Structure 1
């Protein structure tokens, strides 16, 4: 049988995203007789969690920037084996902008390289969405100053480029991501002046059952806390950064205590000198591709069944696109999805016993992170710190005052109307970054906008889409 003939009879899965979920699904599906094309926008597999330094940097000990390194090695080796045997095609630097559904399956449309202009089309029998999540960014006065970065951005610089953005940092916001970011910066020689967490520590007491069910996660948090203690990082719990100061770039931040209702306590502000502020307020799932395919959402998350199938035939989803829950949950979901795809594409009934351990881990981890969601919520009254001249939508330079005026003076009551009246969300990011903040200021629910494409596309690419005859 020729190679082309073999490919014609072997079912083909397109996996979008090479983080923990995408890698686990790729390895599992390929091991069970499915031909897999793995598409990812990064130059190396691993996603944000296993982000690798550029090969040109010749990092001597990249494992020092990660934990669960042996898990990464197993995933990496499984991917390499699949590529070597021809079971897996790994397409790096491929930015997927649309997934087309048709009678014979799916066509994944991607743009190649940093310029994102060379169109690539991959035809497949099924698609697995492992597109991960992105950081929620809430504005405050001074947040646009150079030196203010997202917590994930600071971590990406450290892991991917082996650099830090300054010598003295404050890590602030809310969420479990702050701990590895602060410890990573401290280990890299940065003076971490403070870790500022807005969550109320008493909220953990009300969720002890869910936390106790995951002793490994609790121990992991304790290890981070011990490392921060050894580095003499000041921990300010129940506090928030209310303003960033500087003329040309960041020079200091003002931190204040919060009351039980999430409001700033008058007279508690303190100024902390720093040249870097790494700030994050949680994560949101990437759902653009899922929405264009017609997948149902449960709140911000893509809805899946016990096999990680969406409601659209032939479409699976795994990892943080189905709900933010960390690498371990993503691995479990990816493994289940890969095995389910293999069974379904071979027209056999899936045997849940083959992924029983992963399903058990999934159940426990989902409960654990549901408990954390209740703890790590942004302060209830964060909008009170957004002044009228604070830029909220950076792409279109729309201020908090303009958004408030659209609501109080012009009658806007939803995101779409605010967008039409102010242009907030009409820029390059299409509201992905400013959407939660605009919704908060407008007093309406944040709902992801359904867009025809997952990213901006040149008109020339659209004009020639569908002309390729190659997989």
Structure 2
């Protein structure tokens, strides 16, 4: 049976968050034919999540910063969709990208159960796939009532629901202040914001702070808002245990040293019915790694894509914008989305907006400087694994405990993540290591100095042929289409 010819465009943008939206509308403004693919049903990504229409929210802007910027972007998107300049493919989860002649073929699953497929093509590709939340396990973290900090914010933005009535917010990173303030404004009691790092470290980079006064002002507004709502800020502390039977009833907060090792005898209990916890964000690189794009390690310890001043990756014809190049926030994502689009326009049309691109590059350098500082300040300390008890689950999908991983290292010779995975199944579950990968790497450790050539050392972030779960029927259909 002949396969219908796929859609084709001059440029495809994967991800409709801030970076992807900015890239798509900027490219369309210049007359390029754009495909915008996103797994969600509406644009905005994780940052600009909006309540479902059926909830009848009258002021969604109350849950967001910069809502006017988002509405302006979506208005431009709507105009381009009306003219056909942008084809916005919602509900399209791209699981792989392959080369087809001079085009990129984007393999996507669609439909309510992911059983349908699509394979549009584009001459150029912009990856704006965003980030995922980093979690560090600790005793009790699998108890009902424990949610990700970003997940708690997503629940509030999209569902107008709170994870609990008395919520402790914990972890590390500037996102925590925004989450705690959002929950408090929505009616939750937030007895404490528990930050594993400290904010005093920012003062060691006065020039970077002076170059980013908007971030200083934002931090001051958050601190003032937290004070108004009675949220106690506890720095250099971490939640090291969760208590409860059927769900969260309280948490133990311990003081930690500079390496994040709990100080004996410092634990104090705080009663709560929910815990929103997260230790920053990490770039989502599955598609880029599958294409062979090179990465570097950021100041926060996570991998990010290597790009040049034009946001071109090391793979010709592929650009990247936003959190894929390192976690930096919404303003940076918007600037990089536009800058990537200007580079694509120059490649496609030969026309260069030199003045605007120069402004964006300077803005990007300034904000990337702050992002590097932010990553260094909130990077997890090397001794955080001291929080783990032997029976603490590290890989929730496969129910692999910290004791099991440690035994694989000490007794079976696992000296790297891949070997630990083979011996324990940690990382082989539904999330494919996206949640537990950081913890397993910390427990397994780097390859030993005397590793043989047969060893499987850590080689940076995992490279997978599939970026998300894909039905076998979809794989078979893709294979038939490629053979025709």
Normalised to the residue count of structure 2, the TM-score between the two structures is: 0.93
The yes-or-no answer on 1:170 pairing with 2:163 is no
Q: Which residue of 1 aligns with 2:342?
A: 339
Superposed displacement of residue 327, structure 1? 0.6
Which of 277, 280, 286 lines up with 2:278 in the alignment?
280
Q: Which residue of 2 aligns with 1:4?
A: none
Counterparts of residues 120-159 of structure 1 (less than 5 Å):
120-159=118-157
Which of 260, 280, 299 lines up with 1:262 in the alignment?
260
Superposed displacement of residue 353, structure 1? 2.5
Q: Is the 8 A contact 2:255 2:266 kept in 1?
A: yes
Counterparts of residues 28-427 of structure 1 (less than 5 Å):
28-299=26-297, 300-346=303-349, 348=350, 350-427=352-429
For structure 2, list consecutive stretches of 5 or more residues without a partner in the other structure.
298-302, 447-457
Q: Deviations over 1:97-124 (max 9, x none)?
A: 0111121311111111331111011111
For structure 1, list consecutive stretches of 5 or more residues without a partner in the other structure.
1-6
Residues of 2 paired with 1:318 and 1:39: CA distance? 15
Q: Deviations over 1:117-153 (max 9, x none)?
A: 1101111111110000101111000000000000010
Residues of 1 paired with 2:459 and 2:369: CA distance? 24
Q: Deviations over 1:217-243 (max 9, x none)?
A: 110011011110000011101110000
Deviates more, 1:440-449 or 1:150-159: 440-449
Residues of 2 paired with 1:203 and 1:103: CA distance? 50
Residues of 2 paired with 1:284 and 1:28: CA distance? 26
Q: Deviations over 1:335-390 (max 9, x none)?
A: 011111122122x1534323222111100000011011111122331101101100
RMSD over aligned Cα atoms: 1.7
Residues of 2 paired with 1:60 and 1:465: CA distance? 43
Q: Deviations over 1:210-267 (max 9, x none)?
A: 1221011110011011110000011101110000011011110000112234221222
Q: How many residues align?
A: 462
Q: Is the 8 A contact 1:183 1:227 kept in 2?
A: yes
Superposed displacement of residue 15, structure 1? 0.5
Q: Is the 8 A contact 1:38 1:90 kept in 2?
A: yes
Q: Secondary structure at the match of 1:107?
A: strand
Residues of 2 paired with 1:83 and 1:423: CA distance? 45
Residues of 1 paired with 2:26 and 2:208: CA distance? 29
Which of 454, 460, 470 lines up with 2:467 in the alignment?
454
The 1:327/1:200 distance shift into structure 2, 3 A limit, reads: same
Q: Secondary structure at the match of 1:409?
A: helix
Q: Is the 8 A contact 1:309 1:316 kept in 2?
A: yes
Residues of 1 paired with 2:438 and 2:392: CA distance? 15
Residues of 1 paired with 2:319 and 2:236: CA distance? 39
Q: Is the 8 A contact 1:243 1:253 kept in 2?
A: yes
Residues of 2 paired with 1:330 and 1:302: CA distance? 14
Q: Is the 8 A contact 2:248 2:272 kept in 1?
A: yes
The 1:181/1:423 distance shift into structure 2, 3 A limit, reads: same
Residues of 2 paired with 1:11 and 1:137: CA distance? 38
Q: Which residue of 2 aligns with 1:465?
A: 478
The 1:408/1:69 distance shift into structure 2, 3 A limit, reads: same
Moved segments of 4+, more than 3 Å:
349-352, 466-469
Superposed displacement of residue 11, structure 1? 5.4
Residues of 2 paired with 1:468 and 1:54: CA distance? 36
Q: Is the 8 A contact 2:427 2:437 kept in 1?
A: yes
Residues of 1 paired with 2:111 and 2:185: CA distance? 33
